[in-house]
Amino acid sequence: MTNATINPGATIGVLGSGQLGRMFAIAARRMGYRVHTFSPSSDTPTGQVADVEIEASYDDLEAVRDFAQAVSVVTFEFENVPSATVETAAQFTFVRPAGSVLHTTQNRLREKTFLSDHGFPVTPFKAIHSLAELRSTLAEFGYPAILKTAGFGYDGKGQSRVKSPDDLEEIWRPYAEQEMILEAFVDFECELSVVAARGLDGAFTHWGAIENTHRNHILDVSIAPAALPPEISREAVEITRAVLDQLDVVGVLCVEFFLTRGGKLLINELAPRPHNSGHLTFDACVTSQFEQQLRAVCGMPLGSTELLRPAAMANLLGDLWEKGEPNWAAACAFPDVKLHLYGKMAAKPGRKMGHLTAMAETANEAAHLVRAAREALCAPVD
C-alpha cells in the first residue's frame, strides 16, 4: 500500500455506526465518496445514510476482512473497537488513525500513563487492583476522588465518586474483578476541549478552545469561542498539537481539559475521533470536524476551520420524549438554530438523540438562544 491521495469516488470504511459516523457519512457523500459502515447493529444512525451497512460482530474477523478489502481506508467513529479487529483491517487497507492510537486512548490507564510519561499535564492518578490499594491511595489523594474502570467508559459510565471512607466497600464491590484507575478530584473553574486534526503530511488545524458544561456526566452545552484569557486558549491548542504529534495521529482527535481555579490546564481525556463538543462545527465553521476527518484520512489538504459566527450546541437526550414527541416546530421557529436528529429508533433517558446548534453575534447570545430553543421543545403542540 502507498500513501497516495484517496480521491472522491473511493469508498471509506467506518468502524462503528452511531451519530458521529452519520455526520461523517453526510460529509463524505457531499464530497462524492462512498461510505461502508460496520457494526453489530442494523438500521443505525450511520447505516441510514451510508451506501452499505454491514451488520456483524467486531469479533467476526472474516467479516472484517471482507469489509476492509472493499474500502480504500478505514476510520473510526468510536474507540472501543477490539485490537484484533483493527489489526485484521490493517492487513488489507489503511487504518487512520492507526491502531496504536486506538490502543492507547481506549484504556484510561494506558492513556494517562502515556500522557504522564511524555510530560503532559494530567490529574494525579494511580492503578488500583484491590480494596486495600484503594484505601491507601485515597489516604494519599484525599476525598473526594474518582474511581474509574480503565477501559470501555464514556459519558460517565464506569466511574464513581468516592466521598468518604464509609463509601469504599460498597463502591468497590461491582469493580472488584476489573482493572481500575483512581484519579484525584480536580476543583476546576471550567471544562473545555480542543478538537483538532492532523493530516498525513503532519499539517495541523484546530477549532480553538470550546467551553463545555455537563449534566449527569453527559455533555449538555458547548460554546465557541470559549470565554477564556487568550494565553489559556493558546496553551490549550499548543498542548493539543503536541499530543497529536506525539501520537502520530492522522485524523481528528479531541483533548478534554480541566482549567483549575489556579489557572492550570490538566488533560482529562482524549477522544481519537470527532467529538460531541465539535458538533457545532457542522454549521458554524468553513470546514466541519467531520469533513476534516475525511480530508485527513484520505490524505487530502485540510480545510479552513474558521468560525463563521459564535455558536453554541445543546444535546437532545431521550428524556425530552418522556411526555411525548417534542415540539419540533417550536424549536425550528428560532431562525438561527439548526436541528440535527440522529435517526435512533428508541428514546431512552440519557441517550443522545440529537442536538441543536445556535449562531449569534456573541457566544453568550448563542448559548442563551440554544437553551431557549431546547426549552421550546417542551412546549405544548398546538
Residue numbers in the chain where pLDDT is lower than 70? 1-2, 152-157
DSSP sequence for 141-177: H-SSEEEEESBS--TTTTEEEE-SGGGHHHHHGGGTT
Give me the pLDDT at residue 253, please.
98
Predicted confidence at residue 157, as pLDDT, reads 67
State the Cα–Cα distance between residues 283 and 119, nearest whole angstrom.
35
pTM exceeds 0.85 = yes
Residue spans of the domains in the chain: they are 11-95, 124-184, 188-376
* pLDDT recorded at residue 4: 79
pLDDT at 105: 94
Element (H, E) at 75: strand 73-76
pLDDT at 87: 96
- pLDDT, position 164: 86
- pLDDT, residue 177, reads 77
Q: What is the pLDDT of residue 46?
A: 98
Whole-number pLDDT of residue 364 = 98
Decide: helix, strand or coil at residue 253. strand
Q: What is the pLDDT of residue 288?
A: 98
CATH class of 11-95: alpha beta
Superfamily of domain 188-376: ATP-grasp fold, B domain (3.30.470.20)
Q: Is residue 42 helix, strand or coil?
A: coil
Q: Which value, in Å, is the radius of gyration of the alpha carbons in the chain?
A: 21
The confidence score (pLDDT) of residue 52 equals 98
pLDDT for res 373: 98
Q: What per-residue confidence (pLDDT) applies to 1?
A: 62
Q: What are phi and psi of 241, to 5 degrees?
A: -60, -40
Q: How many CB atoms lie within 10 A of CB 245?
A: 12
Instruction: Please write the tens of the pLDDT for every residue from 142-180.
Output: 999 999 998 765 555 678 889 888 878 888 988 877 889
Fold of the CATH domain 124-184: Dna Ligase; domain 1 (3.30.1490)
- Cell numbers 491521495 correspond to 5
Q: What element of type H or E holds 64?
A: helix 61-69
Looking at residue 329, its pLDDT comes to: 97
**Residue 154: its pLDDT value, please?**
58
> Sheet harboring 34-39: ordered strands across?
52-55, 34-39, 11-15, 73-76, 94-95
